[in-house]
Chain A
Amino acid sequence: MFALGLMLTLIPPTRRGTMSTAKPLAIEARGLRKSYGDNTVLDGIDLAVPEGTIFSLLGPNGAGKTTTVNILSTLIGADAGKAFIAGHDTARDADRVRGAIGVTGQFAAVDNLLTGTENLHLMGRLHHLGRKETRRRAAELIEQFDLVDAARRVPSTYSGGMRRRLDIAMSLMGDPRVIFLDEPTTGLDPRSRRTMWTIIRELVAGGVTILLTTQYLDEADQLADRIAVLDGGRIVAEGSADELKRLIPGGHVSLRLNRADQIEKAANALGANATDPEQLTIQVPGDSSVASLRSLIDALDRESIEVADLTVHTPDLDDVFLALTGRPEHTQESTR
């Protein structure tokens, strides 16, 4: 194991894929650090994203998500550490990296004085696609991203969802192999979010690699093959959504009783970890297995406790966040 690890560090990242059955890495970062004055934004970030997967950086505002994307997309340099995109060094071979990526930043990077079509044509010309190919691809993307309406209008007349769709379409004009999406659904209504998720899934189905940052736990849960939870410039946990959920004991059964006078009795009998006398609810730790539910219901019968309703709560990424960073995601968001 040690020997293998040693070998891997000696082989350039692009060649690793040919060594084993594992897919080659589209994005690799080792020990990325960045600080502005005394403020450390990134404190040693390691990433390894295989080709054709969605990797999500999850974290609250100020965790370092955008800084990571900016370094990986060659916008800024790292103070320390190395990063490779499609095998190219972001510091030494920035132009090769730029040729391989598409970036959709947090704030829609569209030209507000050009129409949708003109924006796409501008990208085509900058990618040196040639007139015919530029027109063909632009027409194709307009169709694919439901922008027919927007094609002849300037972005100031668009909805938030349309702007984002144009933004992503522009990133795709150059046929990138690696796509960075920095909070692609922030500020979108639920329907536009779903549309965006569908778009992202289709992109990956087409073979590209996506690095997605989000502060929405359900978004990472829905889309990402692997998730890194970022907090204070460090990765505090990494794994699939299921692996992360298994890290923490967040499962419980929530019971709402009929009678207030039974709350204490029920709490004692079932070993509840939280009660809310006003709402007549108690929370009992446990998983969603049939066996544990049966023993719970048996206990309720035995004690003759009247239950109005019962909900099984499986741990979600909110619980992960709470457990890993020691504070709920939402409260932190609101305090920043």
Chain B
Amino acid sequence: MSTMTYALTDSATMLRRQLKHMARYPSLTFMLIAMPVVFLLLFVYVFGGTLGDGLGGPSGGREAYIGYVVPGILMMTIAGAVQGTSISVAMDMTEGIVDRFRTMAIARVSVLTGHVLGSMIQILLGLVVVLGIALAIGYRPNAGPADWLALLGVFALIAFALTWLTVAAGISAKSAETASNTPMPLMFMPFIGSGFVPTDSMPGAMQWFADYQPFTPWIEATRGLLDDTGTDGTDLALTVAWAAAIALLGYLIARAKFNKR
């Protein structure tokens, strides 16, 4: 077998390990999914009535707001779930098992790709659950089959980028506690973007940040696909560009730190 096939089979082996971990330790997955669900319910039922009126649409109220906020909650699902990636990477690093992997003739990167692939599956699972609950409480997207397919691609891309970033955070962390705190700011990014209110309702500097941070095009692309309002090509291009840049950055840091340890 060549180096490439080794990298693939070893990654598959490590992915299997991650999936077993998730099955053995479901409380982490549960917690990661529960959090955006709580935010969904909170924003729809507590703030939704008022915020919906402020959107300035024809209907307003809670129903208008649920249509607006779901893409933001979905981004929050991804941003929250990658905290789990960081924690499980850090736990691996602090236990002896990774040193064992490092003394074996395996494709080294597979230790990390196993985490990335495992987290991506966890994230997609979380997105399905959150979307399901949103539908159950009255969310009605207009997306057709092609939109859903495109959405899957967008979600996978964003998940890929943020997991690599948090794998890097997990390796750099000295303990599992630090590792769970480092990705915390990601959770707030949908707030300081177009996730919960339109950015033009924000004050100057904050609006500027909100317009140019990666979560805003991610949220807008998702919103466009879900509402089937014809996606802005710029948002899709920005989505891909940001995701690619963040994934590359995370990968390079993670690889360097992993080899250096």
Q: Which residues of A contact B (CB under 8 A)?
A: 73-75, 95-96, 98-99, 101, 103, 105, 107-114, 118, 122-123, 125-128, 154, 170-171, 174
Known: A113-B21, A118-B20. A103 touches B95 (CB 8 A): no
**Candidates A105, A110, A126, A171; contact of B10 at CB < 8 Å:** A126
Q: What residues on A are CB-neighbors of B21 within 8 Å? A: 113-114
Count B interface residues, CB 8 Å. Answer: 22
Task: Considering the complex, give the chain B residue whose CB is closest to the CB of A73.
Answer: B103
Task: Considering the complex, give the chain B residue whose CB is closest to the CB of A154.
Answer: B24
Task: Considering the complex, give the chain A residue whose CB is closest to the CB of B88.
Answer: A113
**Candidates A99, A105, A174; contact of B96 at CB < 8 Å:** A105
Taken together as a complex, chains A and B put the C-alpha atoms of A109 and B111 apart, in Å, by 15
Taken together as a complex, chains A and B put the C-alpha atoms of A125 and B12 apart, in Å, by 10
A-B pairs, 3 with minimum CB distance: A109-B96, A109-B100, A98-B105
Say yes or no: B103 contacts A111, CB within 8 Å: no
Say yes or no: B100 contacts A103, CB within 8 Å: yes
Q: Which of B2-41 contact A (CB under 8 A)?
A: 6, 9-10, 13, 16-17, 20-21, 24-25
Say yes or no: B17 contacts A109, CB within 8 Å: no
**15 pairs across A/B with beta carbons < 8 Å?**
A73-B103, A98-B104, A103-B99, A103-B100, A105-B99, A109-B96, A109-B99, A113-B20, A114-B24, A122-B13, A125-B13, A126-B101, A127-B105, A154-B24, A174-B104
- Min Cβ gap B217→A in Å is 37
Taken together as a complex, chains A and B put the C-alpha atoms of A285 and B99 apart, in Å, by 49
Known: A95-B105, A113-B24, A113-B25. A128 touches B99 (CB 8 A): no
Tell me the interface secondary structure of chain B in the complex.
Answer: helix
Q: What residues on A are CB-neighbors of B95 within 8 Å? A: 107, 109, 112
B150 at the interface (CB under 8 A from A): no
Say yes or no: A99 contacts B105, CB within 8 Å: yes
- Min Cβ gap A167→B in Å is 8
B205 at the interface (CB under 8 A from A): no
Q: What residues on A are CB-neighbors of B104 within 8 Å? A: 98, 123, 126-127, 174
Q: What residues on B are CB-neighbors of A126 within 8 Å? A: 10, 13, 101, 104, 106
Taken together as a complex, chains A and B put the C-alpha atoms of A64 and B129 apart, in Å, by 52
Taken together as a complex, chains A and B put the C-alpha atoms of A127 and B102 apart, in Å, by 13
B1 at the interface (CB under 8 A from A): yes
Taken together as a complex, chains A and B put the C-alpha atoms of A113 and B13 apart, in Å, by 15
Extra contacts, 17 of them, besides A98-B103, A118-B20 (Cβ < 8 A), are A73-B103, A103-B100, A105-B96, A105-B99, A109-B99, A110-B96, A110-B97, A111-B17, A111-B97, A113-B20, A113-B21, A113-B25, A114-B17, A114-B21, A126-B104, A127-B105, A170-B100
Taken together as a complex, chains A and B put the C-alpha atoms of A113 and B17 apart, in Å, by 9
Task: Considering the complex, give the chain A residue whose CB is closest to the CB of B102.
Answer: A75
Taken together as a complex, chains A and B put the C-alpha atoms of A122 and B99 apart, in Å, by 15
Say yes or no: A128 contacts B6, CB within 8 Å: yes
Taken together as a complex, chains A and B put the C-alpha atoms of A123 and B10 apart, in Å, by 11
